[in-house]
Structure formats: C-alpha cells, structure tokens
Structure 1
Amino acid sequence: MNMKRLLTVVLAVVLSTAFVIAQEKTVDGPVITFESDSKDFGDIKQGDKVENVFKFENTGKAPLIISNVAATCGCTVPSWPKEPIAPGKKAEIKVSFNSAGKMGKQNSVVRIYSNASEPIEKVSLISNVLPK
C-alpha cells in the first residue's frame, strides 16, 4: 500500500512540474516593458495641453520595431522612435493631449503596433477637463 501511495505522489509531482514548465512563456522575440502605461493629470482646464513621456525597454531577445502608434482622437498626438530598439535598450514614446473642446473625464488611449510578443500595447493619458 505504501508503494502505491509513493508512486501516486511521485506521479503528481512530475505532472505538476511538467504543467508549470509548459505554462512558462519562452519569448525569443522583442518585448516592450513600460515603466508605466498611464499618466493621470487630474484636473486640467479646458484648452490646456499636457504631455507625458512613456519610457520603455526592449526586454526581449530580438530588435523591437514599432511600425505605428495611433491615438483614439486628433486631440492626442504621439511621437515614437522609428529605428529598431535593440534588446536591453531603452526608448520612449512622447504623447501630448490638447483639451480644447473637451469637457469632463478624458482617457486618451494610444495603441503601439510592433513586432513584439504582444503586437499591440496601450498607454493612456487620463484627465478631468474643467471649464476655463
């Protein structure tokens, strides 16, 4: 009876270990790792322009190429590096938001399209636009 129990425990440990190993992501390509993926400016006045720099690192094993960065509206303008970012190197995406014509809670989302393991990343600028 003890031998059967021991065999069951050993089998359970082996299967658990195999499951954990199978769940680990092995990424051979580029990976975008942001220091922060959002910036909350709190209350701003209508017409104010705010800007944030989203710093990131390519924590993957291949050069990162950002093919496009798109904002949800024309009030939000991103700028990004056009050259490949080598593994281990840092870069930044600058995003500006113009609150002219806006009112209330705003969440300007910017999508980053790249060759990374997650091909679409998002960053956002959050604010509450008050009257002038």
Structure 2
Amino acid sequence: MKKIILGIVTLGLVAFTSCKDDASKKINEANVAAAAERDSNASKLPILTFDKTEHDFGDITKGVPVKTEFTYKNTGTAPLVLTDIKTSCGCTVPQDWSREPLAPGKTAKFTVDYNASGPNKITKTITVSANTEKGSEVVKITANVIDPNAK
C-alpha cells in the first residue's frame, strides 16, 4: 500500500514539474491592452432620466382618448438605446419612440395614448427597456375616468 501511494505522489510531482515553458512568455501584450480597454468601457453606461415618471390626466371621460408625452435624457456616458416599450394593458399605447442610439446629454421623447373603457381611478404602467445598468425603467399614467352615462 505504501508503494502505491509513493508511486502516485511521484507521478504527480513529475506531471506538475515537467512543464518547461514559462507561462508568462505566452501572454500577448496586445490582448492585455484590449482587455483593459474593454473593462474600462464596461463601466461607461447610459443612464435613462425622465422629466417626469408619472402623469396624472385628472378627470377624463370614458371613451375619449387622451395623450401625454414623456421626455427622457441620456445622462450617462455611453449611447442610450431603447429596445422596447410595453404597457400594462392594451388601452395604453406608446408611440413615436426611436430605436436609434441617443448620445450622452441628448434628449428624446415618446407619447402615450390612453383610451378609457371603464369608470373609476386607474393607474397604468409603461415599462421602458433600454441598455442601462438596470435594464428597464417604469413610468405611470393615472386618471379618474368618468362615465357620463352612469346614473
């Protein structure tokens, strides 16, 4: 048994000490520089900042469409790209948004149409997906829908 253990240890030592090439000689300096640049750019992200995160339409009439506009700015250090805008229901429709990159410091906007089909207080969310660190931001619309035919 001692001979088997001694044989395994000897074999392990030979295997680990047989590498004659110095690993540091295999490092390509161009790759190191490219990795350093990539890592420094990874921390440069766009930041999506809205002028408002909620719009209150107040009292609106059932069946009468209303519209608002959300203005946003890229306050980060890299181009901002909106990849999608989704709403919490089909009665809320985002429009006029660009998929083109927005340079740092620039502003853009999108509109949201809402057509109420039922009475009472509503809150609808609009999720804006983008290439930011967080990945998405949420804005809201609220209203008090009045049915003129209700008794």
Is residue 40 of structure 2 the alignment partner of residue 33 of structure 1? no
Q: Does residue 66 of the first structure (1) align with residue 82 of the second (2)?
A: yes
**Partners of 1:75 and 1:81 in 2: how far apart?**
21
**Which 4+ stretches in 1 moved above 4 angstroms?**
none
1:50 and 1:116 mapped to 2: Cα distance? Answer: 30
Relative contact order, CA 8 A, sep 6+: which one is greater? 1
Gaps of 5+ in 1: 1-26
In the other structure, the counterpart of 1:94 is 111
The offset of 1:118, in angstroms, is 2.1
CA-atom RMSD in angstroms: 1.0
Rounded to whole Å, the distance in 2 between the matches of 1:120 and 1:71 is 13
Please identify the structure whose Cα radius of gyration is greater: 2
Counterpart contact for 2:118–2:147, Cα < 8 Å: no
More helix by share: 2
Percent sequence identity over matched residues?
37
> Offset at 1:48?
1.5
82, 98, 110: which one aligns with 1:81:
98
Ranges in structure 2 where 5+ consecutive residues have no aligned partner: 1-42
Decide which structure has greater strand share: 1
Asked if 1:120 is matched to 2:136, the reply is yes
